[in-house]
Structure 1
Amino acid sequence: KNGRQMALPAIPNELLADIFLRLSTSEDLIRASAACFSFRRLVADRAFLRRFRKLHPPPLLGFFDYRGFHPAEPPHPYAPAASAVADDDLNFGFLPGSSLDWTMREVRDGRVLLDRPGRHEPLFKETVVCDPLHQQYLLLPPIPGDVAASVAVQLLIERGGFADCFLVPSGDKEEPDATEETSFRVIWLVVLENKPVALVFSSCTGQWRAITPLIWSLPGLQLSTWKFWFVSRHYAHGCFYWISGASTGFQVRLKNCSCLTSGGWSSPWLITHPVPDIWAMMWPSRRQAKAGL
């Protein structure tokens, strides 16, 4: 009545965050953040970015196999972005030495784990973890000498064993900390007839650390019957499964998996037991109370 214009109340940051989380693409989020300083400050917050990335995973540009990188093709929605990534950028030419020396072992969470025979110790390979899209890599330090020596002696005695090196899956926490976004962990596992040896490398510390205590029970497992060239590793519901061409496989359960994915080291366990070797493996999902294939 008095002609004065009433000011609209400010939109709470919590409501703004919910609105921005509903934007369909990261490009739209960038445009919104350019509108004003308060929007830009909210979008730049690490907690908000973690929530946005969880709802909007990075675009799928393609996949790797033993032959190299295969970009997404039309009619895939990210085919244009995939075509912008030149094959030369993803051939691991940025790694030390010749790219032909490296063998790709695993791809997980946008990182690639590769190895090559060691110069002086062919039994223990050089290992590197890299981000091929940004051409960044970290050469992992050698396995500690005392552990390497004990494993080498035991392998000579038993004349056989199984070894594997693999990336630890990212945690599934609702609000992972900032270091978890850029850090990674690698497990080095050697299975002998009488006991396993397991180490974890953390990019935060730059060191290998033994996984202790180990609970080990594999009744009737005979590694001498394994066809190691047919061994395949699978991951489901916090458990790793190794299946060979023989009649049995085995499971390794990271019972305290949060210890390995959140940076803590409070008594992680490895619990192992045989599983049948069948072409179609069924693993029950306790969290969702249903089976997974």
Structure 2
Amino acid sequence: MSMDAIPLDLLEVILLLVAWPIFLVRAASTCRQWRRIIARPDFLWRFRCLHRPPVTGYYYDTTQRFFSPSWWPNSGVDGRRFALDFLPAHHPMHGAWRLRDSRGSLLLLDHYKHRDDASRGMVVCEPVTRRFQKIRPLAQSARCYNTAAFLLDGDNAQQAAGGISMSSFKVLCLVYYGKHIEARVFTWGESYSWRDTSIDSESMNVIGVAMGSIHWYAGRRKVVTLDQRSAEFSSFTLPAGTEDWDSLVNQHRLAVTASRDGGVRIVVGVACGGMKVFARLPGGGSCEWVLRKWIPLSSFMAIHGLPWREPWYFSHLPISNHRTGAVLIVTTRMSLSQEPTTTPLMFRVDIETMAVEQMPDPNLGTAYPCELPWPPVFRTITKMIDDHGDRAT
């Protein structure tokens, strides 16, 4: 039976079952008929709902800003194609590009000039396609001493099957003025300028991402959330009397994640090495939280044969590392050599399925994950793939 004899609706179902997007790109390179099916927006939307683009590798914010492929060489992706040598050059004496965030296939960098924080410029780039967009510098007062920057989905991200792209993204900056914080959002494709958005807080500690919103702990049981689509802030209050929330944040023992049923979960690390998971009661008020489950991490890690040592803590940055239903935990491995040492290890733990995935070495610095572009840029990505079949023309 030839492939041409397969009904188109059945062929579409078969292609939807392809495990990874990179294999989907290879399938699109097989023949014109397959490419026409795969390139349809409705097919890409359905595929994106079933399969999240894999992380091709991680960028590390060091002097060299090096890239480490996560599944090279089995994928056939050439790690050299992820170099950032296409960015506008700057003389070392005048500052250097610095990684601030990543989301999907995009990176956010700023140009930091020593003792001249107000002149900072930004750029959003997509390494795999070697494209970049300069962002107008954020005007800052001399009173400003720090900023935090995040990449957000653009306004038409839903049409792009939930992804972020060079034609659809936002940049959020939190500008710290002593005990006061201002929030500003840049939206690509609109007025190409920054706009202020309301926030009333003296401190902001990232505690996770859930249901399209970034969550910060602002002290005194207050959690501030930013809806990434609307770029608007809201807040809710954690219940009194159940936990010492301020202490948990200081110890990095508080995290937020999303459940697969569409709810927000508050995850608390307990002293005995476990985690408590809180869920909000349906239709309840802002403080109607109940204990949903308790996870004994020590015995759980032992079952998987993973090294475990107290104390441990949650890792929140960069937020792009998070997945639905998962939290990042950092523990240590003890070496009993001539000079005993401890090595930090990071794992992603799914609080619902209890699946475990080891993350990049924290010793290398902050790791910024980079995915393949979505929707796929077929003509560009196929150049990176060691595909020995016939290519579409």
What TM bracket, shorter-length normalisation? Answer: 0.5 to 0.7
Report if the CA contact (8 A) 1:61-1:82 is conserved. no
| In structure 2, distance between residues paired with 1:207 and 1:126 | 14
Alpha-carbon shift at residue 139 of structure 1 (Å): 0.8
Counterparts of 1:66 and 1:196, CA distance in 2: 25
Change over 3 Å in CA distance of 1:250–1:128 after alignment to 2: farther
Contact 2:15 2:24 in 1 (8 A): no
Structure 1: state its 5+ residue gaps.
1-8, 222-230, 261-267
- SS for the counterpart of 1:52 is helix
CA RMSD after TM alignment: 4.1
One of 246, 268, 283 as aligned partner of 2:256: 283
Q: Quick one: structure 1 residues 91 and 64, their matched pair in 2 at CA, closer, same or farther if it must change by over 3 Å?
A: same
C-alpha distance 249-290 of structure 1, shift in aligned 2 (>3 A): closer
Matched position secondary structure for 1:205: coil
Residue 12 of structure 1: how far off its partner (Å): 6.5
- Residues 62, 82 of structure 1: 8 Å contact kept: no
For residue 165 of structure 1, the aligned residue among 149, 152, 158 is 149
Count of aligned pairs between the two proteins: 242
The residue that corresponds to 2:284 in the other structure is none
Query: Is the 1:283–1:291 contact (alpha carbons within 8 Å) kept by the matching residues of 2?
Result: yes
By percentage of residues, which structure has more helix?
1
Q: Is the 8 A contact 2:48 2:161 kept in 1?
A: no
SS in 1 for 2:208: strand
C-alpha distance in 2, partners of 1:124/1:234?
29
Larger relative contact order (Cα-Cα within 8 Å, sequence gap ≥ 6)? 2
What amino acid maps onto 1:98 in structure 2?
Answer: H
Q: Percent identity?
A: 20
Q: Is 1:133 aligned to residue 108 of structure 2? A: no
For residues 121-200 of structure 1, the aligned pairs below 5 Å read: 122-143=117-138, 148=140, 151-152=141-142, 155=143, 161-168=145-152, 176=160, 181-182=165-166, 183-193=168-178, 195-200=180-185
8 Å contact kept, 2:256–2:264: no
Compare the two structures and name the one with the higher strand fraction. Answer: 2
Query: Paired residue for 2:318?
Result: none
Find the aligned partners of 1:235 and 1:170 in 2 and give their Cα distance.
Answer: 20
If the length of structure 1 is used for normalisation, what is the TM-score?
A: 0.64
Partner Cα distance (2:87, 2:15) in 1: 39
1:216–1:270 Cα contact (<8 Å) kept = no
Letter in 1 for 2:87: L
CA shift, 1:98, in A, is: 3.1
Consecutive unaligned residues of structure 2, counting only runs of 5 or more, are 238-244, 268-326, 328-393
Indicate the residue corresponding to 2:46 in structure 1: 51
Residues 187, 198 of structure 1: 8 Å contact kept: yes
Tell me if the contact between 1:91 and 1:99 (Cα under 8 Å) persists in the aligned partners: no
